[in-house]
Structure 1
């Protein structure tokens, strides 16, 4: 592993080979993954009871934009067999910062992962503000990479808004580099 890198695809592949649970194939009636233990934290697919907390966490982390319906993004990811929203829950008082709203069972981290048939993508990586800097964001990336690996993904990409420069170092430490491309978009009616 290169200096400064945490766990990347190679480390992830080794972790899966060493016994980290791989996602079962799943079907329309059951979850595709769960739970996936990363860094002492269980990540599992979002449940109905988690959705409001997930969107609230995305909002608290500045990820929600007026032109994107975050509830619809969750619903779309859940209804597509090539995408998922993974969540981690607070385990108890040891996870909570005194005076914070983090408590047992609260959603403390999320990541949306999807496979477009060519590349895997990571979106909506969020960690509750009271727990940022604890390694939980790294664990969420590793969980997303693990889920994507079970889908046959060999390349993972993510987009960072040009205004969100403070996270670039975080992703660089995880082995992500500038892909030297410009992402263009268009909304369909």
Structure 2
């Protein structure tokens, strides 16, 4: 798999991958999320390509204090091939190069398989409560 920054021509394939991986929610418009990311650190929006097929994504950010990873997804037909690990390795590499001391990410508490995946990569459950407030309705 080759990892590269997102290109506008990837949009349809990225959204389809997110939907197939059940990463989208009715309250998050994926097109809006993509457009927002493209305004800030667009080089940190990555896609994984196998041949001519988009098979993985990761949306990364760094606020100067913490790195974040959103929308890490691998097509179900390509899971188990270490593509998720490769995307996270690249995310970590890019964040370390920016001086990022820690990565945060959010996983739905009911998604045991994804929690286990991140634990195999050395991630631990932080004893915190994630809070949010919607400022713009999609």
Q: TM-score, normalised by structure 2?
A: 0.92
Judge conservation of contact 1:83–1:112 (CA < 8 Å) in 2.
Answer: no
Shift of 1:83: 6.7
1:127 aligns with 2:87: no
Does residue 30 of structure 2 align to residue 70 of structure 1? Answer: yes
**Corresponding residue of 2:62:** 115
Unaligned 5+ residue runs, structure 1?
1-40, 92-104
Structure 1 position 142, deviation (Å): 0.6
Task: State the SS of the aligned residue for 1:146.
Answer: helix
**Residue 87 of structure 1: how far off its partner (Å):** 0.4
Q: Is the 8 A contact 2:5 2:43 kept in 1?
A: no
Q: Distance in 2 between matches of 1:155 and 1:119?
A: 5
| Distance in 2 (alpha carbons) for counterparts of 1:117 and 1:125 | 21
In structure 2, the residue matched to 1:84 is 44
Output the TM-score relative to the length of structure 1: 0.68
Q: 2:87 & 2:133 partners in 1: Cα distance?
A: 29
Q: How many residues align?
A: 136
Are the aligned partners of 2:58 and 2:72 in contact in 1 as well (CA < 8 Å)?
A: yes
Q: Which runs of 4+ in 1 moved over 3 A?
A: none
Q: 1:46-67, CA deviations, whole angstroms, 9 ceiling, x for partnerless residues?
A: 0011111011101100000000
Partner residue, 2:105? 158
